[in-house]
């Protein structure tokens, strides 16, 4: 019984850090990811998490790399 309860609580967990995607300038969120390297680059990936800080919410920030 206790293991089922522990699993149910564990299933509620979500990642509380920062994720990032790399997309072309002016591109919005794609409905479907393209194939190949471009699709891999556009996947959201975990880039920062600090166990002492809880990050919540949503924000968009553009960074231009030349």
pLDDT, one tens digit for every residue, the chain (66 residues): 788 888 888 888 778 888 888 777 766 666 677 778 877 777 888 888 888 988 778 887 877 777
* Residue 3 placed within a domain: no
* Residue 2 placed within a domain: no
Burial of 52 (0-12, 13-18, 19+ CB in 10 A): exposed
* Residue 58 placed within a domain: yes
Bridge partners of 19? 46
Non-local (6+) Cβ contacts of 16 within 8 A are 49, 54, 55, 56
Report the predicted TM-score, pTM, of the whole model to 2 decimal places.
0.53
**Domain span including residue 23:** 16-66
Q: Domains in the chain: how many in total?
A: 1
């Amino acid at each position: 019984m206790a293991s089922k309860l522990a699993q149910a609580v564990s299933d509620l967990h979500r990642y509380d850090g920062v994720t990032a995607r790399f997309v072309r300038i002016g591109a919005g969120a794609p409905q479907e990811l393209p194939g190949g390297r471009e699709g891999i680059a556009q996947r959201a990936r975990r880039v920062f998490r600090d166990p002492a800080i809880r990050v919540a919410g949503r924000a968009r920030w553009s960074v231009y790399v030349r």
